[in-house]
Structures are given as structure tokens and as C-alpha cells.
Amino acid sequence: MTDEPQQQPRLFGNRWADAASPGGAGSGRDQCRCLGQRLDRPPSRVKFHKDRQDTDSAGWRRLLELVEEAAEDRREEFKPLVELSAEQRRQVVTLPPTIAKLTAVRHLVLYGSNLVRLPPEIGVMTGLEEFTPYTSYRLHWFPYELTRCPNLTRSTVSTRALYGNYKYRPPFPELDSETDRIGELLPGTWGATTIRTCSVCEAPIGHSGPVQAWISLRVATDILPLLVNACSEECIQALPRPPEHYPPTPHRGGPSVAQPAADYLI
């Protein structure tokens, strides 16, 4: 009997080792079952997360400090979550509007976050080249303003967590047609607590409130579900055409929206 050399197991490095958040007591994020757990039985309806940001929490206050530090030293990579404890990470469900100051940031890393939404001010981060919200499983959509980042060419997104993703086509939340809303909004209905400017032309939103629509577009590496808050139907009509195999026009979501067959069915 001859001895054959044993094949050594292949080791794979963790690409995001330096982006993973530190340990600590408790989980750094909440569980999410919005899109269901079975590919062969996606939910018929979904809704926005209702979470409101607690601006008095330690996690939020620390995040504000980190944004100011990054703006002051003009750092090119911003990984705020690695500076937060597990408890603090769980307290952060959005980013502050002050991220508009981070025009020098080229890579925004939000690996493993508890985020449920992003502010439109992300579109002011004009230096952004790479966007990594990977394994942020509660982040199902993005603001249309992300398309304003002219240098953004690379992204790493957990696509199965996205509304309308090609793998099993979960639905989009049905957008409210109610108008004449002024002041603070319900995030579970509008996807935001305030909407001030048009996603398309940047004009102020009038007293009648925004005209909302969903559209799927390629942003960097991925095709993302984008929420548009427009000042008029004319701005909705000015939106670009979605890519093939996605709803061909802007829409208001809900179970009536016809989507192509899920990838697992093909």
C-alpha cells in the first residue's frame, strides 16, 4: 500500500476582516424577516421598517463624532461601525445628514450594520468610489440620490435582502398616495421622517408632499431598488429607463407590480 500525500484544506481569507465590527455583549443588529425565509414562498406584501432613530442614544452621539472627525481629517475610507460597541451599533438605524461633509471619502464601509434606511445626503458624497453595505440585511432599498455620486463604480451589497431582487423577486412596499403632509412623516409609510427636496431636480418639496416612486437602476456593481421622492410627476417621467429584466417603468410598489420570473424559477 502506497502512501499518497494528503491534500491540505484550502483556506480562504476573510475579505472584510478589518470591516467587521468588534465583539461585545449582545447582538449588533436586529433580526429581519421582512422578505420571508423561503425562496419558493416570498411574501405577497412588504412594508418599510418603522424604526425611528433615537438621537439621544450613545451610538448615535458617537456616530456624529466620527463623522465630524472624518470630515476634519478628510479621510478617504470611512468605517464608522468598527468604532462602536455591539449595543451602540444596534442603536443606529440610519446615518446622519452630516455625511454630506464627507466629500473626501472614497470608500464607505457599512458592513454588518443595523441600518434600515440611508439619508438623501449620501448623494453629496461626490468623492465616493466604493460602497460596501454588505450583510446589512435590514437595508432593503436605497435613496435615488445615490445616483448623484459620479465616481461610484464598485459596490458590495447583499442582493437577497433587496426589494425586487432578481433571485426571488420579493415585492416592493406600496407607496402611500396621500398628499398634503407637512412636518414629520411616519417612516413606516414614507421611508423617512422628513422629505425636503426633490430626488431628481433638487427643488423644494411643496406643501402637497412628495410624489414617490420605485425604480430599479444599476448603481456601481449592483442593480438597486431606489426610492424617488419627486416634486412633480414631470420629474418622475424624466427618470432613466430601468435595465432589462426589471419593471420597465417607475412604479408605486405593492403586489400588483408585474416582475419578471425569479432567477430560481428559470
Query: Which has more confidence, 23 or 37?
Result: 37
**pLDDT (0 to 100) of residue 121:** 98
With the C-alpha atoms ordered 119, 123, 125, 131, is the resulting torsion angle positive or negative?
positive
Q: What share of the chain has pLDDT > 90, as a percent? A: 76
Going by pLDDT thresholds of 50, 70 and 90, the confidence category of residue 75 is: very high
At 160, give phi and psi (nearest 5°): -65, -15
**pLDDT (0 to 100) of residue 13:** 47
Helix H or strand E segment including 143: strand 142-143
Q: Which residue is associated with the grid cell 422628513? A: 194
* Lookup: cell for 132: 460596501
**pLDDT (0 to 100) of residue 39:** 61
Asked if residue 143 lies in contact with residue 202, where contact means CB atoms within 8 angstroms, the answer is no
**pLDDT (0 to 100) of residue 1:** 46
**pLDDT (0 to 100) of residue 207:** 79
Query: Mean pLDDT, to the nearest integer, of 233-250?
Result: 96
Query: Mean pLDDT, to the nearest integer, of 222-235?
Result: 97
pTM of the model: 0.89
Tell me the pLDDT of the chain averaged across its residues.
Answer: 89
Beta strands at 77-78 and 107-109: parallel, antiparallel or unpaired: parallel
Residue count (the chain): 266
Answer yes or no: is pLDDT of 8 > 60: no
The domain at 58-173+218-227+242-265 falls in which architecture? Alpha-Beta Horseshoe (3.80)
Answer yes or no: is pLDDT of 97 > 50: yes
* Residue type present at position 65: E
Answer yes or no: is pLDDT of 19 > 90: no
* Lookup: cell for 13: 481569507
Alpha-carbon distance 119 to 124, whole Å? 10
Beta strands at 107-109 and 130-132: parallel, antiparallel or unpaired: parallel
User: If we measure between CA atoms, which residue out of 36, 39, 108 comes closest to residue 78?
Assistant: 108
Integer CA distances (angstroms), 40 to 23, 32, 263, in order = 35, 18, 11
Query: Mean pLDDT, to the nearest integer, of 114-132?
Result: 98
- Least confident interval from 5-19, 179-193, 233-247: 5-19
Listed in sequence order, the DSSP H helices in 74-141 are: 86-90
- Tens digit of each residue's pLDDT (9 = 90 or more) over 151-186: 999 999 999 999 999 988 999 999 986 655 556 789
Answer yes or no: is pLDDT of 60 > 80: yes
- Those residues whose C-beta lies under 8 Å from the C-beta of residue 193, and which sit 6 or more positions away, are 52, 184, 185, 186, 187
Q: Specify the 3-state DSSP secondary structure of 250.
A: coil
* Residue type present at position 198: C
**pLDDT (0 to 100) of residue 12:** 41
**pLDDT (0 to 100) of residue 44:** 86
